Amino acid sequence: MVGLNYYCSKGVFQLNHKSSMKRKMIIDISLICLFLSLIAFIYLYISSTHKKELENASASKDHLIIKETEDTFYKHAELSYKTDDLSYKIQYPKTSSKKLNTDIQKAINNMKQTYIDTHSKDSSLSIDYDVYKNEKTYSFVLSQKVKEGIVFTEKNFLNFTFDTENDVNLSLKDIIPTNKELKYAQLLINKKLQQQDASKKYFKEQHKELQIDTDSRHFNNFALDQQRIIFYFNTGDFTRPYNGTAKVIIERTELNQVLATATKKEQPIKKTTAIVAKKSNTASKKEQPIKKGTATAAKKTATKKQKVVALTFDDGPNTTSTVKILSILKKHNAKATFFIVGNQAKANPSIVKKIAAEQHELGNHTFAHPDLKNLSTKNIQLQISSTNKYIKAASGQNPTVFRPPYGSTNASINKIAQLPAVLWDVDTLDWQHRNPNKTFNNIKKNTRNHSIILMHDIHMTTADALDRSMTYLEKQGYSFVTVSQLRKIKAASSK
Ligand code: NI
């Protein structure tokens, strides 16, 4: 304002000629504008650098300590940060492998960011790790714990088993290479889980058996030392929520004949498998008393009550395979649950309407199928609410259940969704193999009473497997219910 007066008065008093006065005024106004934008620019510049400084200041409050350990392969790192409403303490190994460090760092950043994005007031995150060592391998098992007030803790594991000689991460497939061997390991794990306090009740209620697919997430967290192989299970995997985690230790002597150590890997596989086959035969004979028990128990429940199963279809709907699936369900007079993706509901509202009209259950499977653990609270809300909106607009109904994409969820995500989160226990892997025979066989092999079967209605190959899968299950005495009906039946039967 000061500058403006100065220029104006200068213009008025120094010039008499009218037109040149007009020209001078235009120049003056342009100068004023230039001057004002310069001030605005400087202000914006200063405020943005100030903001950056603030951000740097908060990041620099991360306090990092690195200590030597007795071992030459790794050092102990400790990262901590604390403010009034959030705090974390992250302990992790800093190894001499660049590759492994990158993987560990990435995992830690992920957990940290998820916590920061979704944390509630007065909460804390702690990450700790266990170390196991074999001749050439190190297993680091990171465990994550989120505390909210004093009420709730959640614990999840993340494993890195690393071959130091070849500088590679090992998967369970490297340790237990064949399905037969896995099957044997599974028997042992199952038996041990059923004996432990944390998981015992869960097994009793769910009649659940470990899936033996090697890509099963349940098998991801294992560690090796010289005598043992240790399996870690997240909260809720094989325990009831709030019963904590489970850990199964298998002695190498128990698995000796089946465990292929890193050095044995080069041996002709056929021989090992032959031995394994024999061993697991005798092993399953030994297990028979238990098997008999469960068989008669199953018979008893079968005669008492009818067996039920929930068919679930994800990622649709579309105008082709979903429609075919609906007609097969109708033929069998069966009700199923569709976990609808919001953008598909937006694209195909008439099919959503048809699903609802035929009395199947509607579920929310997010708008764009992201891994919700990577999103901020606000974006998670948006994924859920926009999907609810499109489903409601198409069908007149609100979804009653929720399924997180990839089964990737935690307590805070479930809280945001405000709908019961529904996972599955029979994974047909229909999206992966796109083979009707495999889908059928998977269902045939893995379905139990109260199973929730995961399929995807967007594949014609899934529709092609459905009719005979349903016919088979009906012959086994199953009837088909929605997941909400299944939850009620389960709740009633555990009373
Ligand atoms: Ni999905």
- 3-class SS of residue 380: helix
Task: Work out the mean pLDDT of the chain and round it to a whole number.
Answer: 79
Apex 439 CA angle, 436 and 440, nearest 5: 85
Name the least confident of 35-49, 52-66, 102-116, 270-284.
Answer: 270-284
**Which neighbouring-strand residues pair with 162?**
138, 169
The number of beta carbons lying within 10 Å of the beta carbon of residue 466 is: 28
Q: Which residues contact 364 (CB under 8 A, 6 or more apart)?
A: 339, 340, 342, 384, 387, 388, 391, 399, 401, 402, 403, 417, 419
1-5, 63-67, 238-242, 438-442: range with highest mean pLDDT: 438-442
Which ranges of 229-287 does DSSP label H, i.e. alpha helix? Answer: 252-255, 269-286
Q: Provide the pLDDT for residue 310.
A: 97
Q: Provide the pLDDT for residue 386.
A: 95
To the query of whether residue 314 is one of the catalytic residues in this protein, the response is yes
Q: Provide the pLDDT for residue 282.
A: 34
Which of 119, 237, 314, 459 is an active site residue? 314
How far apart CA 379 and CA 373 sit, in angstroms, is 11
Burial class (CB in 10 A: 0-12, 13-18, 19+), 194: middle
Q: Which is it for strands 228-233 and 246-251: parallel, antiparallel or unpaired?
A: antiparallel
Q: How many angstroms is it from 483 CA to the middle of ligand 1?
A: 16
Q: Provide the pLDDT for residue 98.
A: 93
Whether the predicted pLDDT of 83 surpasses 90: no
Whether the predicted pLDDT of 47 surpasses 70: no
8 A C-beta contact, residue 157 and residue 140: no
Q: What average pLDDT does range 164-178 have in this prediction?
A: 83
To the query of whether residue 456 is one of the catalytic residues in this protein, the response is yes
Q: Comparing C-alpha atoms, which of 260, 208, 258, 252 is closest to residue 230? A: 252
How far apart CA 326 and CA 336 sit, in angstroms, is 9
Which of 119, 360, 365, 456 is an active site residue? 456
8 A C-beta contact, residue 88 and residue 80: yes
Higher confidence at residue 33 or residue 477? Answer: 477
Q: What average pLDDT does range 86-97 have in this prediction?
A: 92
Q: Provide the pLDDT for residue 17.
A: 59
Token pair of 4, please? Answer: 């403006």
Whether the predicted pLDDT of 33 surpasses 60: yes
Q: How many angstroms is it from 364 CA to the middle of ligand 1?
A: 10
Q: What percent of the chain has pLDDT over 90?
A: 44
Q: Summarize pLDDT for 373-382 with one digit per residue, the tens.
A: 989 999 999 9
Q: How many angstroms is it from 340 CA to the middle of ligand 1?
A: 9
Q: Provide the pLDDT for residue 273.
A: 32
Q: How many angstroms is it from 484 CA to the middle of ligand 1?
A: 19
What distances in angstroms separate CA 118 from CA 89, 104, 235, 294, 373, one per listed residue?
Answer: 17, 21, 19, 43, 9
Whether the predicted pLDDT of 16 surpasses 80: no
Q: Summarize pLDDT for 275-293 with one digit per residue, the tens.
A: 333 333 333 333 333 333 3
Q: How many angstroms is it from 422 CA to the middle of ligand 1?
A: 12
Which ranges of 61-95 does DSSP label H, i.e. alpha helix? Answer: none
Q: What average pLDDT does range 20-46 have in this prediction?
A: 78
Q: With cut-offs at 50, 70 and 90, classify the pLDDT of residue 46.
A: low
What distances in angstroms separate CA 435 from CA 179, 390, 441, 446, one per listed residue?
Answer: 20, 32, 10, 17
Q: How many angstroms is it from 233 CA to the middle of ligand 1?
A: 23
Q: How many angstroms is it from 148 CA to the middle of ligand 1?
A: 29
Q: What average pLDDT does range 130-134 have in this prediction?
A: 90
Q: How many angstroms is it from 258 CA to the middle of ligand 1?
A: 35
Q: Comparing C-alpha atoms, which of 208, 269, 253, 264 is closest to residue 425? A: 208
